[in-house]
Amino acid sequence: MKFGVVVSEGPYTHQASDTAYHFVVSALEAGHEVPRVFFYHDGVNVGTRLSVPPQDERNIQAQWTDLAARHKIDLVVCIAAAQRRGILDENEATRQGKDANNIAEGFRISGLGQLIEMGIQTDRLLMFGD
């Protein structure tokens, strides 16, 4: 089965991004496909490379980056939600006149159309949030 996954709560504050991660790992192990994960609301904060959790804690962004690289998962951060919360890639930082960007490896910033497209193209859409 082909699953689309939405993460709609922020990392560390909320369990949603962890549960989504464990779901995706298990789904892939069971032979399912997860072509894309879409990060919305505070979920976009998973996509910053500047978070520095304590060394004895999981690094949620690094877990996703690693998983995406190994399984070719498209990690999409919603542009509108990201701009509100200060998640920028190089293009957006330049376009908005900001002096830095912070998007993590394996993540890309794109529009809400990617969420709708995922709903259309997958067999099941799962939303991990509050």
Partner 1 sequence: MSEDVKKFLYVNRKAPYGTIYALESLEVVLIGAAFDQDVSLAFLDDGVFQLTRGQDTTGIGMKNFSPTFRALGDYDVTKLYVERESLEERGLSADDLQEIMYEDEDDDWAEKPSIRIVSRAEMADIFAEQDVVLSF
Annotated active-site positions, please?
A: 78
Q: Is 14 in the site for partner 1 (CB under 8 A)?
A: no
Restricted to residues 37-76, the positions that interact with partner 1 (CB under 8 A) are 40-41
Residue closer to partner 1, measured from CB, 6 or 24: 6
Q: What is the DSSP annotation of 88-122? A: --HHHHHHTT-S---BPTTEEEE-THHHHHHHHHS
Following CA atoms 32, 37, 42, 44 in sequence, which dihedral angle do they give, to the nearest 10 degrees? 150
Would you count residue 112 as binding partner 1 (CB under 8 A)?
yes
DSSP code, position 48: B
Q: Least distance to partner 1 from the beta carbon of 78, Å? A: 8
* Closer by beta carbon to partner 1, 1 or else 116: 116
